[in-house]
């Protein structure tokens, strides 16, 4: 039993003939307008790292600008004191290599 050419066309159709709904994610309402350099679903670990770094920078810069203690920062951002110390360490270690403008996208997400 052989398949007709039209049957094989329907099974292996080109993407233009497939229905695709661009629903986006929490970063952007549409995949085509997304500011990320790659899709968060393609590399979830990368996205989590970038998002964590953006959060860390927010905590770190707030601590510096408002002269908060570790305990005050922990209470303000609803994290533990130990987490604030981890944030401080990560920010100090990453400071020379950070692209602050690129991380702004993640801070908004």
pLDDT tens-digit series, residues 29-83:
998 888 888 999 999 999 999 889 889 989 998 998 999 999 999 999 999 999 9
Containing structural domain, residue 101: 35-108
Domain membership of residue 22 (yes or no) is no
Domain membership of residue 96 (yes or no) is yes
Q: What is the predicted pLDDT for the residue at 107?
A: 59
Domain membership of residue 20 (yes or no) is no
Q: How far apart are the C-alpha atoms of 29 and 23, rounded to whole Å?
A: 6
Q: What is the predicted pLDDT for the residue at 82?
A: 97
3-40 in b/e form (b: 16+ CB < 10 A) is eeeeeeeeeeeeeeeeeeeeeeeebbeeeeebebeeeb
Domain membership of residue 17 (yes or no) is no
Q: What is the predicted pLDDT for the residue at 81?
A: 97
pLDDT in tens, 84-102: 999 999 988 887 666 666 6
Domain membership of residue 9 (yes or no) is no
Other beta carbons within 10 angstroms of residue 106's beta carbon come to 22
Domain membership of residue 66 (yes or no) is yes
Contacts of 108 (CB under 8 A, 6+ apart): 27
Q: What is the predicted pLDDT for the residue at 47?
A: 92
Domain membership of residue 12 (yes or no) is no
Q: What is the predicted pLDDT for the residue at 23?
A: 86
Domains identified in the chain, total number: 1
């Amino acid at each position: 039993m052989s398949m007709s050419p039209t049957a094989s066309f329907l099974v292996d159709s080109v993407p233009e003939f497939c229905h695709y709904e661009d629903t986006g994610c929490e970063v952007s309402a549409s995949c085509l307008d997304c500011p990320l350099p790659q899709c968060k679903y393609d590399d979830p670990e990368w996205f989590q790292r970038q998002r964590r770094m953006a959060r860390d920078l927010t905590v770190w810069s707030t601590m510096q600008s408002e002269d908060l203690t570790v305990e005050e920062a922990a209470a303000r951002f609803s994290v533990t004191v130990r987490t604030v110390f981890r944030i401080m360490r990560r920010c100090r270690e990453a400071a020379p290599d950070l692209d602050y403008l690129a991380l702004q996208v993640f801070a908004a997400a």
